[in-house]
Structure 1
Amino acid sequence: MSLPEISVIIRYFEAEAHRNTNALVALFSDEAVVVDESQTYHGPEGIRGWREGAASMYQYTTQVLDTRSLDAKSYLVAGRLTGNFPGGTAELQWRFIINDGLIDRLEIE
């Protein structure tokens, strides 16, 4: 991984941990897409709405377990969420596509 990609991924998880929606939205390109729970969110306002909705539903922490490069612009992060949602823990994968130091696409599975 190159430094800009590592940096934006680290900043994404930091912003999420601190529930800093403004900082998180600033990490995405203007045309960015997020896919989470079979829903697709487009652009800064769509991503802002997604984060504000997700942050208000549950309290949770994220533990990053593994990060690997899939190709020059794609990265896979495996992690565990622990919180007050049904089941209490969840294993997730975040697939990032990074372009010019910003997130162009994020898929959470």
Structure 2
Amino acid sequence: MNQDQDQPLTITPDALPEVITRYLKAHRAHDTAAAVTSFTDDATVIDDGRTYQGVAAIEAWLNRSATEFTYTIELTGAQRTDETHYVAVHHLEGDFPGGTVDLRYRFTLHGDAIGRLVIGP
């Protein structure tokens, strides 16, 4: 058995699936209406220890996160674990506590949409 089988493979950010790229672009632009279309109807987002289940909850989370703090976000890396699991690494700077952070956006795809997104260090 290959010990590296479950290890993420570093990829270029432009090799991320289209649905992830579309979501990240809409999120950076604070375009909640476009961002939410990237998710399945029963998707789950986990951010800052809180879980958001379903499109309505995710839309409310996106609206709040777009206005709660002012920040810049830069995509600095990407990884692929398998055909449905990807990680996008972002560097954020802004007026949130700490002022700077590197976050990993861990995506699970269901078909051509995002079924799960977990955001953390």
TM above 0.5, yes or no, is: yes
Deviates more, 1:64-73 or 1:21-30: 64-73
Alignment counterpart, residue 68 of structure 2, candidates 34, 50, 57:
57
1:23 maps onto 2:34 in alignment: yes
Q: Would you tell me which structure has more helix in proportion to its own residues? A: 1
Q: Please, which runs of 5 or more residues in structure 2 have no aligned partner?
A: 1-10
| 1:59-91 deviation per Cα after TM superposition (whole angstroms, max 9, x unaligned) | 112111111111120001111011121222111
Give the aligned partner of residue 7 of structure 2.
none
- AA matched with 1:77: A
Deviates more, 1:21-30 or 1:81-90: 81-90
Structure 1 residue ranges (4+ consecutive) displaced by more than 3 angstroms after TM superposition: none
- AA matched with 2:104: Q
1:66 maps onto 2:77 in alignment: yes
Q: Please, which runs of 5 or more residues in structure 1 have no aligned partner?
A: none
CA distance in 1, matches of 2:72, 2:18: 20
Alignment counterpart, residue 87 of structure 2, candidates 76, 79, 100:
76
Q: Quote the sequence identity (%).
A: 35
Give the aligned partner of residue 41 of structure 1.
52
Give the aligned partner of residue 85 of structure 1.
96
Count of residues in correspondence between the two structures: 107
Using structure 1 for the length normalisation, give the TM-score. Answer: 0.91
Question: Larger C-alpha radius of gyration, 1 or 2?
Answer: 2
Using structure 2 for the length normalisation, give the TM-score. Answer: 0.83
CA distance in 2, matches of 1:107, 1:62: 17
- AA matched with 2:24: F
User: What CA RMSD, in Å, does the superposition of the two structures yield over aligned residues?
Assistant: 1.5
Give the aligned partner of residue 19 of structure 2.
8
